[in-house]
């Protein structure tokens, strides 16, 4: 590439900072009935004292399920990873935390707890579901308890008795005793507006939710731009929703997936399955021999499960977990503590590149494409350009518009690969979209765009 390393470093840093500023912006505040909007900076959990909400609890990094009173250490090189002995009956993988249900009805959670999502209330439960920055569980009396980030209402369940509960990114859904579905939380894309009728199960996702009726017919609602709501015909025995894809399990053990062409939307070509679960960028299933198989984006390790038989499986944002026949817990995937040396960035680098948002965020509210942009920026700064290109292309596929950072970063990769026409078209597209939005162009993006355009022209002149 005909530019100095310092020049390219400045371009990438400017793009990363533009991304970080955009992704740290909160979505529109919710307005409680008869109240004022919650401020974006106001923590959304904790008891109120003198009219002020209390600060969030400190991060909980390694509490883990206790074994003889001591925390279980994570397995090196994996995320949330542990082969926890015990008498666990269910495990649920969330954003950057995991929760498990013991046979005695108690819940233990571990991982990130910046919003209290890994700090369950005491009690006895029959089911647990870990979401983005919140978690929900079903009490023994059928009522629902949620904890963690409630800024958008995802941790404020309605009263009544439920058969099951499912926590998604910023929304939660529950199946009532009468078979109807109630959802609560963010409803910008109608993901909290389920259809009427009687259902047998419900799964909340990242921008959509899906359910099966008693005959196995599927319904999905929420974001209509990515194909998740375009459900294929036929009956299913299970269903799961990811970021921009959904997958269903047929009664013959086959898996059908639909939605965007990337991030786990493709169906596996081998084996019969007994269970499946979709994460943000990938999907996992249990084959009929109990062995896990995962597909989709594998950069975080989420598609590389251990070679061990499992009785259940659950996919989170960037990691997945399963139960062993001995009632132990095994997890694999993204490493919050950066035990993978390739991901050991400094705190300043992580903030600048958007890694904080990609991980689930220290008090950051991020949009649906920011995890893709964040990981793309991380990999680009590490010079892992093939991975960076894949994530940045995904971010643009999901949202062709908005901030300029992802376009600048991807154009720099195209330029480096000699794809001059594509790099130039990408920059022109970004500027056209931004002008059409009526927003002023961020000055931090003008310099990098101009520098890339000049480099494109220089490269063309050299090729003549």
Domain containing residue 365: CATH number: 1.25.40
Residues 357 and 323 in one domain: no
CA–CA dist 218, 231 (Å, integer): 7
Domain finish residue from 273, 307, 333 = 333
For residue 81, CA distances in Å to 97, 221, 255, 300 come to 11, 33, 27, 13
Domain containing residue 289: CATH number: 2.130.10.30
On the question of pLDDT at 331 being above 70, the answer is: yes
In this predicted structure, what is the pLDDT of residue 227? 84
CA–CA dist 358, 336 (Å, integer): 10
Residues 6+ apart with CB under 8 A from 333: 78, 79, 80, 81, 93, 300, 301, 302, 316, 318, 319, 320
E strands within 288-399?
292-296, 312-315, 319-323, 329-333
Residues 215-265 pLDDT 10s = 999 999 998 877 899 999 999 999 999 888 899 999 999 999 998 754 445
38 part of a folded domain: no
Residues 26-65 pLDDT 10s = 332 222 222 222 222 222 222 222 333 232 222 222 222 2
447 part of a folded domain: yes
23 part of a folded domain: no
Number of domains in the chain: 2
Domain finish residue from 307, 333, 359 = 333
Structural domain of residue 366, as residue ranges? Answer: 8-17+342-463
CA–CA dist 372, 226 (Å, integer): 15
E strands within 104-161?
107-111, 125-130, 134-139, 144-148
On the question of pLDDT at 178 being above 50, the answer is: yes
Q: What is the mean pLDDT of residues 117-134?
A: 95
286 part of a folded domain: yes
Instruction: Enumerate the β-bridge partners of residue 377.
Output: none
Residues 176 and 299 in one domain: yes
Residues 287 and 371 in one domain: no
| Number of C-beta neighbours around residue 62 at 10 A | 13
> What is the pTM for the complete model shown?
0.64
3 state SS of 274 = strand
Residues 92 and 219 in one domain: yes
Band of the pLDDT at 200, cuts 50, 70, 90?
Answer: very high
Residues 125 and 196 in one domain: yes
Residues 363 and 322 in one domain: no
Residues 184 and 214 in one domain: yes
Residues 366 and 327 in one domain: no
| Number of C-beta neighbours around residue 356 at 10 A | 21
Pairwise pLDDT comparison (18 vs 304), residue with the higher score: 304
30 part of a folded domain: no
Nearest to 436 by CA among 406, 408, 392, 404: 404
Residues 369 and 226 in one domain: no
Residues 451 and 369 in one domain: yes
Q: Regarding beta strands 88-93 and 97-102, do their DSSP bridges make them parallel or antiparallel, or are they unpaired?
A: antiparallel
Residues 6+ apart with CB under 8 A from 175: 162, 163, 164, 165, 181, 199, 200, 201, 202, 211
In this predicted structure, what is the pLDDT of residue 432? 83
Residues 354-410 pLDDT 10s = 333 333 333 333 334 455 676 777 677 767 788 788 878 877 876 666 667 788 889
Domain finish residue from 333, 351, 382 = 333
In this predicted structure, what is the pLDDT of residue 366? 33
């Amino acid at each position: 590439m005909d530019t100095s390393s310092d020049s390219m470093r400045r371009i990438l840093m400017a793009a990363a900072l533009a991304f970080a500023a955009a992704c740290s912006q909160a979505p529109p505040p919710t307005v409680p009935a008869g109240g004022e909007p919650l401020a974006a900076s106001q923590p959304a959990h904790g008891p109120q004292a003198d009219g002020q909400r209390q600060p969030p609890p400190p991060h909980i990094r390694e509490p883990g399920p206790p074994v003889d009173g001591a925390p279980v250490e994570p397995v090196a090189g994996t995320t949330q990873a542990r082969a926890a002995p015990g008498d666990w009956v269910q495990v649920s993988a969330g954003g950057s935390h995991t929760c498990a249900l013991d046979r005695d009805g108690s819940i233990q959670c571990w991982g990130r707890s910046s919003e209290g999502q890994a700090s369950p209330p005491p009690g006895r439960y029959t089911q647990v579901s870990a979401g983005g920055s919140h978690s929900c569980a079903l009490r023994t009396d059928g009522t629902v308890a949620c904890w963690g980030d409630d800024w958008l209402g995802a941790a404020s369940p309605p009263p009544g008795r439920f058969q099951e509960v499912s926590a998604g990114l910023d929304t939660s859904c529950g199946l009532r005793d009468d078979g109807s579905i109630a959802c609560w939380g963010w409803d910008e894309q109608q993901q909290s507006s389920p259809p009427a009728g009687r259902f047998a199960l419900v799964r909340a996702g990242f921008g959509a939710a899906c359910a099966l009726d008693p005959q196995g017919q599927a319904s999905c609602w929420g974001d209509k731009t990515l194909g998740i709501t375009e459900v294929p015909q036929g009956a299913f025995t299970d269903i799961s929703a990811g970021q921009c894809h959904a997958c269903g399990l047929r009664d013959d053990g086959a898996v059908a997936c639909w939605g965007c062409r990337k991030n786990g939307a493709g169906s596996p070509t081998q084996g019969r399955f007994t269970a499946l679960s979709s994460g943000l960028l990938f999907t996992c299933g249990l084959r009929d021999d109990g062995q896990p198989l995962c597909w989709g984006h594998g950069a975080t390790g989420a598609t590389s499960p251990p070679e061990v038989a499992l009785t259940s499986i659950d996919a989170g944002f960037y990691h997945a977990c399963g139960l062993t026949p001995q009632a132990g817990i095994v997890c694999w995937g993204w490493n919050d503590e950066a035990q993978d040396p390739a991901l050991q960035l400094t705190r300043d680098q992580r903030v600048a590149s958007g890694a904080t948002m990609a991980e689930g965020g220290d008090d950051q509210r991020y949009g649906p494409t920011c995890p893709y942009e964040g990981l793309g920026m991380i990999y680009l700064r590490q010079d892992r350009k093939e991975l960076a290109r894949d994530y940045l292309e995904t971010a643009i596929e999901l949202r062709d518009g908005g901030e300029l950072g992802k376009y600048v970063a991807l154009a720099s990769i195209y330029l480096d690969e000699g794809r001059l026409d594509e790099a130039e078209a990408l920059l022109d597209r970004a500027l056209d979209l931004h002008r059409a939005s009526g927003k002023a162009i961020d000055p931090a993006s003008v310099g990098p765009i101009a520098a890339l355009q000049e480099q494109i022209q220089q490269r063309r002149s050299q090729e003549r």
